Structure 1
Amino acid sequence: MNREPNAQLIAVMDEAQVSNKGLAKRLRDAAEQRGMNLGTSHVGVQRWRDGAGIKPETAALMAEVLSTKLNRRITPSDLGFFSQLTPATPPAPPSVGYPSTVSDALSALNGLAEEPPKGPDAGRLIVPDAELSSAVLSWMISRPDGVQADQPASQRVGMRDVHAIRAAAETFMQLDFKFGGGHGHKALRYYFRYEVLPLLNATFSEQVGTALFGAASEISQLLAWSAYDSGNHRLAHQYLTSTLRLSQVTDDRMFGARILSNLSHQANYLGNHAQAINLARAAIEGAKGKATPRAMSMYSAMEARALSNIGDHKGAGRAMNEAERYFERAESSSDPEWLSYFDSAELMGEFCHCFRDLKQRRESVQYAQRAVDDTDPRYVRTLGFCRMVLAQSQLLNGEVEAAVATAGLAVEGGESLQSSRFQRYVTDFQAEVSAYASNPAAAAFNEQVRDALARLDDE
């Protein structure tokens, strides 16, 4: 049977400057330290490079030794293992060209809402740097279009219509937090196409038009986020790019920077860390003087997340300090409603991810515990993420039983989540804890996950 070479494993080994023999020796040494018998040789490593399967406990050990070598967190997913979760070939690069006109952006959004790409793009999304930079630069330097008020149309929109859209956005956002992006995406897509987009071609006053484009952008952003959470990265990216263009209509630099920070979040999740750093920095620079301190804190936190993933301790520390200083100046009265979710617990959640990725064991446990304790239970997915990071942080400290217990609470609380991202947190932890396969607690956790996934599939 022909296999595709494991390009991700090859790339990480090249980055770590480790040979097949060198990696095999590191694996044997790590296994011996744990009382395991692993007879891996350079031949076995070559088979994995060629695309052969691997046992979860071996993948976890490999991720651990390469993490130590590179001084940053590597997961089995980063090494291209468990390919049943990803497509056999990477998706073709999406078009990310910045729409030149408002009508182009609306046409693109209508097309996405009418018939989005089929199936999740769970693999790595490839966006050429030049195309992404062009879109960001266009947003940074383009003049605002302005609202075309009182144009002839058969329908007139009032502020009551805008309030209805914002109420719908709030409802769908709460569903997203509680049940994951896969739950309401289809219904939201229908609402956006048939109830929201037509209003943008109606007649309205300048005040109503400004508010209307802002409300429509919120729905479009939520469609992007729910697609991202569901694992459809191509669709999410296309929504985000078109939504970025909508923010230009009314010169809403704070919301546009939010879209850039979302793009940074997605790029970081997919391992495109250099792009994630640049996108976060573009959000910060593009919103200076236009965004509230709370928003600036969020943008800086995204930069910290990306810098942590490449092991830049100094840069990540600086970005976290900036995020904290901005947050200390935050006043809810000056913030838009869409930013209300970004509270102190959310900031602690961002920081605990940073400390976990930087392998700062004490801080990662400390901040993850604070995030878990302070997160509002209605934010089910956020709480699940924080619990999984706490479990990973406890595992970093060698607290296997505590880590498994924490992860078990996360799985129990997140059983109803239709979230590809949450499932990845769980499977990454499974791979990491499989290095302790002889521990009964680890075996019990794996059984719990299997039962939870089976129940989710039955729903």
Structure 2
Amino acid sequence: MSGNGGGGTNAASTHKRPNELLASWFVRSGWSKGELARQVNRRARRLGAGHISTDTSRVRRWLDGENPREPIPRILSELFSERFGVVVSVEDLGLRTTRPSPSATGVDLPWTGPQTVALLSEFSRSDLMLARRGFLGSSLAVSAGPSLIEPMQRWLVPSPSAAQPHPEPEPASAGRARGRLSQPELDLLETTTVMFRQWDAQCGGGLRRKAVVGQLHEVTDLLQDPQPDPIRRRLFKVAAELAELAGWMSYDVGLQPTAQKYHVLALHAAKEAGDRPLGSYILSNLSRQMIHLGRPEDALELIHLAQYGSRDCASPRTQSMLYAMEARAYANMGQPGRCKRAVRMAEDTFAEADEWDEPDPDWIRFFSEAELYGENSHSFRDLAYVAGRSPTYASLAEPLMRRAVELFAAEAGRHQRSYALNLIGMATVHLLQREPEQGAVLATDAIKAAKKVRSERVNTRIRKTVDTAVRDFGDRAEVVDLTEWLAIELPETAEAV
């Protein structure tokens, strides 16, 4: 049992002291030992570590001072981070972990083309080959604060390789050179990336993530072959978009460290492609993740970096999206004045989107009027939470959220996950306004929509919303019915990623 439960085996365990740090987080979480054990097992299965089998006695031994083996410390870090909305490191829990190799972890990576290719290849290969056995998930941790922001700021530093073009490969003596791409082949790679993005919007990140990672690995193979400069830049752009999508899908299924690493590598690839607007979009995803993890100050710094870096080249649609994310950061920091200003800037800039002379790249076309309403309504909803469940901010969120739901409902087949997320958002607004009947109806609709996608993010938000309804209105019949419906329709089972 000690092997399956992730227990420590060193002799020092016989002289262990109670883990007061872990005990403090555990007590504040409100979980029972059995609940924590079940969550650890569920997360381990999602990482592919099916050998983990934790029970209440094992949790008790951790609290008594036993140090569990990997990947348990990382799993506990993720679970407590999600529970409290802040980054709770392994060390914060009073646990020890083996230090992984620099290539496997961290975000302070070399900003050079060849090393970017090598790191993308290594990481995507590890994801494909090792994640199902739990190794990849146990070797990563989310970076935050200066350890994240400072390396990302080097995105704006001119790359040494950008100063002079790569030499043209010598023509092959017969036929096409090994690895050289034709124009139709490159067009097909770009079209395939668009298709993957559409699948993600329709089905969620859990269904196609491995296919995207596999395609990314193939593209890194092509980048290791000699290519003319124009083709090389386009290949780096494809790699950046695929890495961004792999990161986004990882975020969607709850693999936070993996998501961050892919996004960081995507930013490196976007720099090699010379595509600053794409880089700003990737930074916005990192910012969104920081908001999710309770680090709005980090989120704001990342958004400001994105805005500055793309200030003279991003389309109005991209700039509007960045303003909307800036508003989300300010909302979570409890700064209503700056939040409202950013909301207005997002609206005003979006109004100019159709006047842009060039077509928007595919990666930003998702940011529709519905997305604008959804983001801005969530900013006001977040302000309501930060301001102690303020009805004033909830009333500002309600009409915007209603419009977002209406627009997404009209195209739910193409944006099923966004539709589900905004239904959940609308349910939370009604709960803030102390309208449990409407909240329960919308949460029920969200559950129906969630069954059509593979998104742990959607499922988690539904469960948190239902938990809030139970806490505030647990004696209402519609809330009791909602709880029973959730248990039947969305049981807490592991999902393959």
Please classify the TM superposition score into its range, dividing by the shorter chain length: 0.7 to 0.9
SS in 1 for 2:110: coil
- Contact between 2:447 and 2:486, CA under 8 Å: does it hold in 1? yes
Cα 1:255–1:307 change in 2 (3 A) is: same
- Contact between 1:261 and 1:280, CA under 8 Å: does it hold in 2? yes
How high is the TM-score relative to the length of structure 1? Answer: 0.79
Offset at residue 5 of structure 1 (A): 4.3
1:390 equivalent to 2:426? Answer: yes
- CA distance in 1 between counterparts of 2:143 and 2:30 reads 24
Equivalent residue number for residue 447 of structure 1: 484
- CA distance in 1 between counterparts of 2:495 and 2:292 reads 28
Equivalent residue number for residue 335 of structure 1: 360
Amino acid at match of 1:395: L
Equivalent residue number for residue 281 of structure 2: 258
- CA distance in 2 between counterparts of 1:88 and 1:290 reads 46
SS in 2 for 1:385: helix
- CA distance in 1 between counterparts of 2:159 and 2:126 reads 31
Equivalent residue number for residue 39 of structure 1: none
1:269 equivalent to 2:292? Answer: yes
Tell me the alpha carbon deviations over residues 55-110 of structure 1, each in whole angstroms, 9 at most, x when there is no partner. Answer: 99xxxxxxxxxxxxxxxxxx993379xxxxxx997988941113231111111111
Equivalent residue number for residue 150 of structure 1: 168
Cα 1:369–1:51 change in 2 (3 A) is: closer
Deviates more, 1:269-278 or 1:173-182: 173-182
Matched ranges for 1:285-434 at <5 A = 285-331=308-354, 333-359=358-384, 360-375=393-408, 376-377=411-412, 378-434=414-470
Q: Number of matched residues?
A: 396
Cα 1:413–1:249 change in 2 (3 A) is: same
- 1:172 paired residue among 196, 202, 216: 196
- Contact between 1:230 and 1:421, CA under 8 Å: does it hold in 2? yes
Amino acid at match of 1:363: L
SS in 1 for 2:334: coil
Amino acid at match of 1:443: V
Identity of aligned residues (%): 26
How high is the TM-score relative to the length of structure 2? Answer: 0.73
- CA distance in 1 between counterparts of 2:85 and 2:291 reads 15
- CA distance in 2 between counterparts of 1:255 and 1:7 reads 43
RMSD: 3.1
Tell me the alpha carbon deviations over residues 98-148 of structure 1, each in whole angstroms, 9 at most, x when there is no partner. Answer: 3231111111111111112735969x9642423223222211122373463
Tell me the alpha carbon deviations over residues 222-277 of structure 1, each in whole angstroms, 9 at most, x when there is no partner. Answer: 11111111111111111111111111123211111111111101111111111001
SS in 2 for 1:225: helix
Deviates more, 1:142-151 or 1:396-405: 142-151
Equivalent residue number for residue 217 of structure 1: 240
- Contact between 2:213 and 2:246, CA under 8 Å: does it hold in 1? yes
Equivalent residue number for residue 101 of structure 1: 112
Matched ranges for 1:48-59 at <5 A = 48-49=27-28, 53=32
- CA distance in 2 between counterparts of 1:273 and 1:90 reads 28
Offset at residue 188 of structure 1 (A): 1.6
Tell me the alpha carbon deviations over residues 376-421 of structure 1, each in whole angstroms, 9 at most, x when there is no partner. Answer: 2121111111000000001111110110000100111111322121
- Contact between 1:411 and 1:452, CA under 8 Å: does it hold in 2? yes
Offset at residue 4 of structure 1 (A): 6.1
- 1:228 paired residue among 241, 251, 266: 251
Tell me the alpha carbon deviations over residues 180-202 of structure 1, each in whole angstroms, 9 at most, x when there is no partner. Answer: 111111122122213x2222233
- Contact between 1:192 and 1:219, CA under 8 Å: does it hold in 2? yes
Amino acid at match of 1:345: A
Asked which structure has the greater RCO (Cα within 8 Å, sep 6+), the reply is 1
- Contact between 1:144 and 1:250, CA under 8 Å: does it hold in 2? no
Equivalent residue number for residue 78 of structure 1: 84
Cα 1:51–1:3 change in 2 (3 A) is: farther
1:186 equivalent to 2:204? Answer: no
- CA distance in 2 between counterparts of 1:458 and 1:215 reads 28
- Contact between 2:405 and 2:419, CA under 8 Å: does it hold in 1? yes
- Contact between 1:145 and 1:248, CA under 8 Å: does it hold in 2? no
Deviates more, 1:144-153 or 1:175-184: 144-153
- CA distance in 2 between counterparts of 1:90 and 1:343 reads 46
Deviates more, 1:226-235 or 1:92-101: 92-101
SS in 1 for 2:166: coil
Amino acid at match of 2:186: V
Amino acid at match of 1:451: I
- Contact between 1:388 and 1:426, CA under 8 Å: does it hold in 2? yes
- CA distance in 2 between counterparts of 1:384 and 1:282 reads 30
Offset at residue 285 of structure 1 (A): 0.8
- CA distance in 1 between counterparts of 2:491 and 2:143 reads 34
Deviates more, 1:387-396 or 1:89-98: 89-98
- CA distance in 1 between counterparts of 2:227 and 2:82 reads 53
Cα 1:109–1:55 change in 2 (3 A) is: closer
Stretches of structure 1 lacking an aligned partner (at least 5 in a row):
10-46, 57-74, 81-86
Offset at residue 455 of structure 1 (A): 9.4
Stretches of structure 2 lacking an aligned partner (at least 5 in a row):
1-16, 36-80, 87-92, 171-176, 385-392
Amino acid at match of 1:77: R
- CA distance in 2 between counterparts of 1:272 and 1:334 reads 34
- Contact between 2:459 and 2:490, CA under 8 Å: does it hold in 1? no
- CA distance in 2 between counterparts of 1:55 and 1:315 reads 43
Cα 1:226–1:76 change in 2 (3 A) is: closer
- Contact between 2:29 and 2:83, CA under 8 Å: does it hold in 1? no
